[in-house]
Each structure stands twice: as C-alpha cells, then as structure tokens.
Amino acid sequence: MTKNETMIRLKKGETIRLPIRRLGINGEGVGFYQKQVVFVDGAIPGEVVVARVESVERRFAKARLLRIRKRSPHRIQPPCPVYADCGGCQLQHIDYPMQLKLKKELVEEAFVRYTSLRELPIEETVGMDEPWQYRNKAQLPVQLRGKKVVMGMYSARSHRLVDMRECGVQHPETNRILETARKTVEEIGIPIYDEKKHTGVLRHLVARFGFRTGEAQLVLVCRTDELPQERELVERLVRRLPQVKSIVLNINPKRTSLVFGEKNRILWGKETVDERLNENVYALSATAFFQLNPIQTVKLYDLVKEAAELTGKETVIDAYCGVGTIGLWLADRAARIIGMDTIPSAVEDARCNAKRNGIDHAEYHIGQAEDLLPRWVKAGLRPDVVVVDPPRTGLGQPLIDMLREVRVPRLVYVSCNPSTLAKDCAQLLQGGYELERLVPVDMFPQTAHVETVCTLSATKER
Ligand SMILES: C[S@@+](CC[C@H](N)C(=O)[O-])C[C@H]1O[C@@H](n2cnc3c(N)ncnc32)[C@H](O)[C@@H]1O
C-alpha cells in the first residue's frame, strides 16, 4: 500500500470502529485506522470506540465519539456539570491515577519520537493529594444575554461562552469573588462588551487569590478607561468582598483575543497583592505572570533545586525568569543569580521580589535569552548552572547552539511542552550532554497539560 492510498481511505461522515492506543497532547484519544492517525475527543487509551469522521486533514483525521464498545476501567463520571461543553478541562472523565500515568506516557512518547534514547531516566508524575481547587487565578470573559450577564469559559475551539458559576479546579475564593462581581455588575447595569460590534465596556473579570496570605485582587478588564457608575460599583464590591485588597481597571481598547491591555488604573486599595511560597514573599501586580498552582509550584521548584546541585559557590542563570521566582528559590545556595525575561514589567517585579526577600546577589535583565546569553558568554561569562523555563515554543536556536558550544556543567530544563522539550534535548544530547533525570509534574490536574523538570549534564567526553 502506498502512502497516498492510506491518506484517502477515510472519508468525512464515515463511521469507524477504532481501538484507542494513546493520549494526544490535547487530551484526545488517538487511534490508527489503516495507519491513519485519528483523534477522538473523550476516548481513553485501551478503549475500543465507534466514532464518526468529522474532518480529514492531510496527516490525520478527527472523529466524534458515538459509542464505547470496550470501556476503560479508568473511565469515571466527570464531576463538573459543564465538562462536556466547556473547553477548560480535558481529562475529567479519567480517574486521577490514570491521568498521572498518561501524562508520564506523553513525555516518554515525545522522547522516543524525537531522540534516539530508548531507556529513559523518567520518574512517576508528581501529582496532587487533592487534584481540585488548585488554581489561584480565574480570568473569565463576560457577555450580555438579554438582561443577564453571563460569565464562563469558551467552549473548546470556539468563542461560544459556557455559562459557569463555579469551576471545580478554581480555589473557592476566586469562584466566590467572580460570582459576586458578576452579580454586582448585572445589578448596576454596567455596559458589557460586545465582541462583534466592539462596543460596550466590561470584557473580562479576573480574580487572583493568595493561598498563603488570603489577599485577593479583582481586575475589571474594560474597553475604555471610562467605567460608567464606577463609584457605585467599587463601593458595593468593597463592601461585599472583604478579602479583596486591590481593585484594578485594566484598559484593553483593541479588537484582540488577548485578555489584558497595557494600561492599569487602581480603582481601590493596593497596587499589588502578596503571595508566599515557602519563606519567600511575592508582590503580584494585576498583569504579572505567576504560577497558577501554588501547591505544585513548591514541588516543581524543589525539583529544580535538587537538580541544580548547588553548593553556594555557583553562578546560576535563570533564563525566561518571569517575576524571578525560580532564581529566588535557589538564591540561598548560589553565589550569583542572573535572570532575564522579555517582559519589562516582569523583570521589574523580579528586581522588587529579590529586594523584598533580602536577596542582593540576584540581577535581572530585559531581553531575549537567545540574544543575551550568547553575548555574555562571548564576553567571558561561565555559568555553572543554567535553568531554562521557556514558553511552549521551546528554546531559541542561538541559545541551543551556545549551550552546545560551552557545555555548562548542569542544565535544568523546565518545560510545559513535551514535544519542544524532546526536540531541544535531541540537539543537546548530540552536542555533549547526557540526560540524567526526567520528572513530569502535574501542575494542572483534569487538563492535558504536563510540566517536566529535565536534568542534563555535560558529558566528560564529547
Ligand atoms: C513559562 S514562563 C516561566 C516564568 C518563570 N520561570 C516562573 O516559573 O514563573 C516563560 C517566561 O518566558 C518569557 N519569555 C518568552 N520568550 C522569551 C525569550 N525569548 N527570552 C526570555 N524570556 C522569554 C515570558 O515572558 C515568560 O515570563
């Protein structure tokens, strides 16, 4: 059979019987129909399903689950009433121990696909004791339906809002704050943004809650700086939400799917709210990036610390540093921390966080890791440990080239995307590194995301 013959076998509308072999990166079940990859939302590895083909692309097809012929013993009733409709979670129909196993397999499969390694030093996924109510921040779009203000997540791959009053992965406080804010906005008649016409004012409600400090922040993302009945709204919110220490208006005037605009105006209270992770305290401004699952963040950063094997004498790079959290975690065992990030406000926050925690041997720079680090190394910098925590796209090529050239003693790669992690590692393994340890960490239970802490060290011989 030629390659082309296998490609045209499936047709849209066709009903197929499909054994499900593995989990896809978006949480779908993946099967092979006459060698063609077929994705089926809601199907679990080990199941045999009947599915209707809904679209056929050049390299894969997508099919809708109709019936389950052989049911996985790990299939459970999803606890959330809007799970089928909401695009936020993908794995609620799978029991938690199996979710952790499947996440480990996602990492393994990526390494088997992109590297020549067959024996992997991979450990079990680090899970949560209680895999619910873990998110410290909710940001939900609002819409007007008749006189009702509706708030929720978008349905998967659409801009259709699913009306949602309570989310099971959110901390109850963020649920409570947003629902109170929604009701108050509805009661007062604040003009709601209309995405199609680009009219109205309020676009998103955002709540962040410090698990350790109990301080919360509410952000009203608006199309304009003018918020009708602002005083009345703020007065009622302050009265009803004693845990909120900061109310901010973020102005986003653009037609965009990005939530935040560039400008903020404080409506009430402080500019930032505090959160603690272990001994460190962080001041978080309205749009600052901060890890969303504080319980797992502590485990993630402890793994990074273990991997770094610091003695107190090392120069450590915290590349893609955000607000500096990883570098500050390592600071008590390092001689010097150098961080960089492309977002100026994040770098500013990192500097403030260092100061606030009495750390004076950490410095933070604005710029691209793949630009700054090769330049510094060329100028003579020799880091002992490099920690990288890039976005989903992985490392920039000039950074990989530099790491291959210099061969730093320890390289700790924190990744939210197993595919780019494995692809980047393939290059590093060919360039004088060996893989010591791979630990998947479940930062987002009930979803298909998996974080990995990957430890590499320079080989003695090239
Ligand atoms: C996954 S976050 C990690 C943040 C931080 N390490 C933490 O644990 O909170 C990735 C960060 O990389 C930054 N970033 C994106 N591209 C970058 C680049 N080319 N160079 C440096 N930083 C970059 C983003 O602004 C973001 O703060």
Q: Over the stretch 253-294, which tens digit does the pLDDT of each residue have? A: 999 989 999 999 999 999 999 999 998 999 888 988 899 999
Query: Residue 371 belongs to what H/E stretch?
Result: helix 369-378
Query: Which has more confidence, 421 or 349?
Result: 421
Ligand 1, atom 6, lies closest to the CA of: 321
Helices (H) and strands (E) in the chain, counts: 10, 21
CATH assignment of the domain containing 207: 2.40.50.1070
The token pair that represents 172 in the structure block: 């109850």
State whether the beta carbon of 368 lies less than 6 angstroms from ligand 1.
yes
ipTM of the complex: 0.99
Q: Is 80 inside any structural domain?
A: no
Q: How far is CA 419 from CA 39, 282, 402, 449, in A?
A: 17, 31, 21, 12
Query: Residue 141 belongs to what H/E stretch?
Result: strand 137-145
321 part of the active site: no
For the CA of 322, the closest atom of ligand 1 is 27
CATH assignment of the domain containing 35: 2.40.50.140
Query: Which residue among 86, 222, 416, 454 is the active-site one?
Result: 416
Tell me which long-range contacts 159-164 makes (C-beta under 8 A, separation of at least 24).
159/195, 162/82, 162/85, 162/86, 162/87, 163/82, 164/82, 164/86, 164/140
Q: Compute the distance from residue 377 Cα to the ligand 1 centre, in Å.
A: 20
- Across the range 426-450, mean pLDDT stands at 97
CATH assignment of the domain containing 115: 3.40.50.150
- Closest C-alpha among 410, 376, 387, 373 to residue 318: 387
* Residue 134 pLDDT exceeds 80: yes
Shared domain for 352 and 262, answered yes or no, is: no
The predicted pLDDT at position 5 comes to: 47
Shared domain for 145 and 280, answered yes or no, is: yes
The token pair that represents 419 in the structure block: 């595919």
Q: Compute the distance from residue 416 Cα to the ligand 1 centre, in Å.
A: 11
41 CB-near residues (< 8 Å, 6+ apart): 27, 28, 29, 62, 64, 65, 90, 156
State whether the beta carbon of 343 lies less than 6 angstroms from ligand 1.
yes
The predicted pLDDT at position 45 comes to: 98
Q: Compute the distance from residue 94 Cα to the ligand 1 centre, in Å.
A: 31
The range of the structural domain enclosing residue 52 comes to 3-70
Shared domain for 276 and 343, answered yes or no, is: no
pLDDT 10s digits, 138-192 = 999 999 999 999 999 888 777 788 888 889 999 999 999 999 999 999 999 999 9
The token pair that represents 252 in the structure block: 């986003």
The single-letter code of the amino acid at 33 is Y
Mean pLDDT of the chain: 95
Query: Which has more confidence, 288 or 334?
Result: 334
pLDDT 10s digits, 69-127 = 999 999 999 999 999 888 899 999 999 999 999 999 999 999 999 999 989 999 999 99
The predicted pLDDT at position 399 comes to: 98
pTM attached to this predicted model: 0.93
Query: Residue 96 belongs to what H/E stretch?
Result: helix 96-114
- Counted domains in the chain: 3
Q: Is 276 inside any structural domain?
A: yes
48-52, 53-57, 100-104: lowest mean pLDDT where?
53-57
- Let me know the angle formed at the C-alpha of 179 by 86 and 233, rounded to the nearest 5 degrees: 135
d(CA 130, CA 442) in angstroms, rounded, equals 12
Please answer whether residues 425 and 436 qualify as being in contact, where contact means their C-beta atoms are separated by less than 8 angstroms.
Answer: no
